[in-house]
């Protein structure tokens, strides 16, 4: 979820059970609450969009929502690990709630379909580009300051060479 140019705020892997207070844990829980709600929203939006696609391409009643519910449940089961903190019962309940919501939202052809957004690195850090711009400007200024004395010297020498060549021709 993170890359070279990304950062996440609000989530910390440094929370400890012997911390003086719960601020670190609460901040991390709040982060995951927002993340979970956002991802559920996007998941439902995509499923509704899929159903709307079916409704616009020859299936006026949309998808069979029981099949969708079974598909959601199966895809969730595929993500479980042995001795996972999530149980099969939890997954079944979540899949049922999601499929019920999809069924409620997409019960007819709707003109406005829900929007979803694919995750870009969380809270993309643009400071790196700003810092690269500043470093580039500083290096350009240094280059100009280093080149100017040589150009002045070259101009003076050309002036001297020009006056020497006039002396020779006379």
pTM of the model: 0.60
Q: Has residue 134 got a pLDDT over 90?
A: yes
| Residue ranges of domains in the chain | 23-105, 126-170
Query: What confidence tier does 143 reach under pLDDT thresholds 50, 70, 90?
Result: very high
CA distances from 7 to 11, 128, 132 (A): 10, 11, 17
More confident site: 18 or 165? 18
Tens digits of per-residue pLDDT, 6-48? 566 778 888 889 989 999 899 989 999 998 998 899 899 889 8
CA proximity to 78, closest of 68, 66, 69, 88: 88
Q: Has residue 165 got a pLDDT over 80?
A: no
pLDDT for residue 22: 92
C-alpha angle 21-26-29 in degrees, rounded to nearest 5: 150
Q: CB of 107 within 8 A of CB of 55?
A: no
Tens digits of per-residue pLDDT, 61-85? 888 888 988 999 999 999 999 999 9
């Amino acid at each position: 979820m993170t890359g070279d140019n990304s950062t996440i705020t609000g989530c910390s892997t440094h929370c400890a059970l012997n911390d003086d207070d719960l601020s670190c844990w609460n901040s991390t829980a709040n982060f995951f609450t927002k993340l979970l709600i956002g991802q559920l929203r996007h998941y439902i939006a995509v499923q509704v969009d899929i159903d709307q696609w079916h409704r616009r391409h020859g299936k006026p009643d949309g998808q069979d929502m029981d099949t969708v519910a079974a598909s959601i449940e199966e895809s969730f089961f595929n993500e479980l690990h042995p001795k996972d903190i999530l149980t099969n019962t939890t997954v079944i309940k979540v899949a049922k709630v999601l499929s019920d919501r999809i069924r409620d939202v997409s019960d007819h052809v709707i003109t406005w379909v829900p929007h979803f957004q694919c995750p870009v690195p969380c809270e993309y850090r643009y400071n790196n580009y700003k810092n690269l711009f500043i470093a580039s400007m500083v290096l350009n200024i240094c280059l100009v300051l280093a080149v100017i004395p040589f150009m002045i010297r070259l101009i003076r020498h050309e002036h001297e060479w020009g006056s020497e060549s006039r002396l020779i021709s006379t």
